[in-house]
Amino acid sequence: MSDSSRIPVLVMLLFVMAVQLLALAVTPAIFASDNRVFEDPTSTSNPVVYLLLILAFTALLLLAIKKKKGWIVSGFIQLSIATSIYYLMVAFLPPLPAMLPTVAVLLLLRYYPEWYVIDVFGIAVCAGISSLFGVSMTILPTLLLLIILAVYDALSVYKTRHMVSLAEGVIKLKAPLLFVVPRSRNYSFRKDQPSVSTPEGSDQANGNPADSSQTSGSQAEKAGGKRGAFFLGLGDAIIPTILVISAYTSLPAGGFFGVNFPAIGAMLGTYLGFLALMTTSRDRPQAGLPFLNSGVIFGFLVGCIVAGIAPF
């Protein structure tokens, strides 16, 4: 990793940490709201349903991009964003007042999608989505989900490569489905024309430009031969955090100052997985979830051992 890429990588790691800490903070309110993604949190069919939704969503977006129907892609993304924001707001506000910040955020993202606006939005929406899914699944379905998505991520990036194509289309539309870390102070995401193509031997950020539907792949931007920013998809922050929240809500805290060691272990494992991801080859897009999900699962299991808790 070159010196010029170390600071952006550190910033992206801080984004992931912020997402997990904020998700833990909002989880009590979301848990009390009784809003759930799945009716039965213990059902092992939940990950299968999730994957089918991903496949359908991805296929539709790829078809729309291929047919140059950008308005369809934008419409689905805006609908997903609105739903995510609303479910986060309704945990703290009555239904009607919750519509006001939802509309305000949508207008801001629509008419001023600058990198710092997108980053603040990304942290908030990732925390809300992670918490909502985390309280909607117990440990076993969550682990199955992470394993399935890690395999799917690897296949879609290295084998079929359809997620790389989707990532490029989403970024060109300025969709707020990723974190943006500029290389320079005068960088503007609104004015730039990014590409996911990567010059051989260059450093690039790995990630999945995704909302909860998990679009996969790694992106690096070129601006006049030199990339203007690094990208990290929201999915790379959301998916591991689901296990953190599931552990936090499904397993008891330990006797040592009431610490939930499985949740803490899952958080630390996420960071180790992220650092491992950043050591991979930079000459092509990288799938993030095999690293991140492996790390969060390993950390979770170590936390269970330390706490003396059987997770199943």
Tens digits of per-residue pLDDT, 112-154?
A: 888 999 999 999 999 999 999 999 999 999 999 999 999 999 9
Question: According to the model, what pLDDT value does residue 58 have?
Answer: 82
Question: According to the model, what pLDDT value does residue 46 have?
Answer: 93
Question: According to the model, what pLDDT value does residue 18 have?
Answer: 96
DSSP H or E run through 231: strand 229-233
Mean of pLDDT over the chain:
82
Rounded distance, CA 227 to CA 175, Å?
Answer: 18
Q: How many CB atoms lie within 10 A of CB 21?
A: 14
* Residue 201 DSSP label: T
Question: According to the model, what pLDDT value does residue 301 have?
Answer: 97
Question: Judging by DSSP bridges, how do beta strands 229-233 and 178-182 pair with one another?
Answer: antiparallel
Tokens 């040592």 sit on residue: 256
Query: Reduced to 3 states, what is the DSSP secondary structure of residue 219?
Result: strand
How many H helices and E strands in the chain?
A: 10, 2
Rounded distance, CA 150 to CA 284, Å?
Answer: 18
Question: According to the model, what pLDDT value does residue 207 have?
Answer: 41
Rounded distance, CA 23 to CA 125, Å?
Answer: 9
pLDDT, average across residues 299-312: 91
> Of all residues in the chain, what percent carry a pLDDT higher than 90?
39
Does the pLDDT of residue 39 top 90, yes or no?
Answer: no
pLDDT, average across residues 287-299: 95
pTM, two decimals, is 0.85
Question: According to the model, what pLDDT value does residue 280 have?
Answer: 77
